[in-house]
Amino acid sequence: MTKAELRADVYRRLEEVTGSPVYVSQADVDDALHDGYLEISDATEWREVYRTVDLCASRPYYDLRTLFGADLVVLRPLGAFHEDTNRWLTPISPRDLDGGYARWEQVIGPPDRLFTRGLFWIAYYPAIGSDSGTVKQYLAVLPDALDDEDAPGFDEDYHPALVEYALAEILPQIGEVTAAVAAWDAYTAYERALAAHMQNRGSVARQHGYQ
């Protein structure tokens, strides 16, 4: 379903006329659909991409907020592959590193470990000695905004989730609390189904219709 079709569906459920709505503006519906698209993407992490990271000399941590440009909103880093040694970096924690060489932050060499500090900082350990080499970093990211003719990037079975989310956003503003909570419950059912599908792709069947 395209965004225009999703919008029409929202108006149908609100018993409004799509072309000339009275109570709910098109901007409100579009905002709610966009918010729903981001929310289900945030919850299920369905969009996975990779980007190349240029390694910098002795750099302890890389900032996930700015490393890939403003257009790519990173939810969390996934696996990483060092392209010079052709090795996948193994996740580790600083506590584990403390158990080896105590001054591990001073170690220089090709990276073979990966860890994060807080939400925003990622480290490739050991740090490289010069500005050379690249890491192929896989990421869970948010999708781009939809235009009218665009359809959400995940399977069509889950597209009605956006309609339910939009209703859960709009209905409280016109006093329909019970209907809004019901729409929210319907949305979360779609969300759980998409999350299950994402986590076990290939063995979990896609959802067909409303559960």
- Can you give the binding site for other proteins, defined by CB under 8 A? 35, 38-39, 42-43, 56-61, 63, 65-66, 73, 75-77, 90-96, 98-100, 102-103, 105-106, 114-122, 127, 131, 142, 169, 172-173, 177-178, 180-181, 184
* Nearest residue to 196 via CA among 170, 148, 153, 157: 157
- The smaller minimum CB distance to other proteins, of residues 137 and 207, is found at 137
Q: By C-beta, is 48 or 156 nearer to other proteins?
A: 48
Please state the closest distance from residue 208 (CB atom) to other proteins, in A. 26
Q: Which of 99, 202 has the CB closer to other proteins?
A: 99
| Contact present, 23 and 13 (Cβ < 8 Å) | no
Q: Tell me how far apart the alpha carbons of residues 129 and 139 are, in angstroms, rounded to a whole number.
A: 25
Q: Looking at beta carbons only, is 52 or 93 nearer to other proteins?
A: 93
- Supply the minimum distance, in Å, between the C-beta of residue 91 and other proteins: 4
Least separation, in Å, of the C-beta of 140 and other proteins?
9
Q: How far is the CB of 187 from other proteins (least distance, A)?
A: 11
Minimum Å distance from CB 57 to other proteins?
A: 5
